[in-house]
Amino acid sequence: MEDKDESLIAHLEALRAMLLKSLLALAVGLVPVFLLTPWFLDALIAVMIRDNDVTLNYFSPMEVFILQIKTAVVLDILVCFPYIAKQIWNFVLPGLYEHERRFVKSIVLVSSGLFIIGVLFCLFFILPMLINFGISFATDNIKAVFGISNIVTLALWLSVVFGLMFQFPLITYSLIRADIVSYETIKSKRPYIIVGILILAALLTPPDVVSQLMLATPTYLLFEAGLYAARCRTKRAKKQKKHTGYIKKS
């Protein structure tokens, strides 16, 4: 009983140390990130409104300052994420078997890559298209006037959303590889998954069909990519199992 209590206390101490190190990293990184935020905002706006004669406006004296703080917090989390992920990894590592460690490590690397691709796809492709779509409604009597807070907040939110939704192929592949769900089951539920993606896209994007389809379409294609990768792995596993069984019989 005492061993169990000591083990629980050790786990709680390790969890406490992990959380303190992560919070300390965020606190230390916030100041330099905040100083770089004006440059980041200028670069972000230049990417979004490229090839358009658009000026972003602010409507209160503190609006840009508050926006810089919000942006700095988001950037601080993204910059410190590798360190925080390492702390989480060190906390989880002792309780895993060797094959589980390799699997989780590969997932972390692929997940980070997919998240970055999703963010870049949103910033360089989706957001300029949304702004062009908004500008297309301008006439001689209707002028497009965009508020900087609305545009940048939308950019940050959609970037995170796209980064998360780009995890779909990894989720699909991992569920099938871990034998939680079979390939045939997910394949048969494809219509329900399409509906689920559309509902998620509607909940996570502004209330317009264009942005919803811009999120739902690549997400569905990524789901199909994950399903294809899982099918290839399933076929390889079956062939290997069949070949191993043939050798044993021989």
**Residue 219's closest CA among 152, 151, 171, 153?**
171
Instruction: Inform me whether the pLDDT recorded for 235 exceeds 80.
Output: no
Q: What is the mean pLDDT of the chain?
A: 81
Instruction: Inform me whether the pLDDT recorded for 37 exceeds 90.
Output: yes
Cβ 90 vs Cβ 18: under 8 Å = yes
- Nearest-angstrom CA–CA distance, 174 and 224: 14
Within this chain, do residues 14 and 111 fall inside the same structural domain, yes or no? Answer: yes
Domain assignment of residue 5, given as a range: 1-162
pTM of the predicted protein model:
0.74
Instruction: Inform me whether the pLDDT recorded for 195 exceeds 60.
Output: yes
DSSP conformation class of 250: -
Within this chain, do residues 133 and 172 fall inside the same structural domain, yes or no? Answer: no
State residue 10's pLDDT score: 75
Within this chain, do residues 117 and 209 fall inside the same structural domain, yes or no? Answer: no
**Neighbouring C-beta atoms of residue 81, cutoff 10 Å:** 15
Cβ 37 vs Cβ 75: under 8 Å = yes
**Residue 74's closest CA among 26, 114, 131?**
26
8 confidence band (pLDDT: 50, 70, 90)? low
Instruction: Inform me whether the pLDDT recorded for 86 exceeds 80.
Output: no
State residue 32's pLDDT score: 93
Tell me the Ramachandran region of residue 179: left when phi exceeds 0, alpha when psi lies from -120 to 50, beta otherwise. left
Cβ 145 vs Cβ 56: under 8 Å = no
Within this chain, do residues 51 and 175 fall inside the same structural domain, yes or no? Answer: no
Instruction: Inform me whether the pLDDT recorded for 39 exceeds 90.
Output: yes
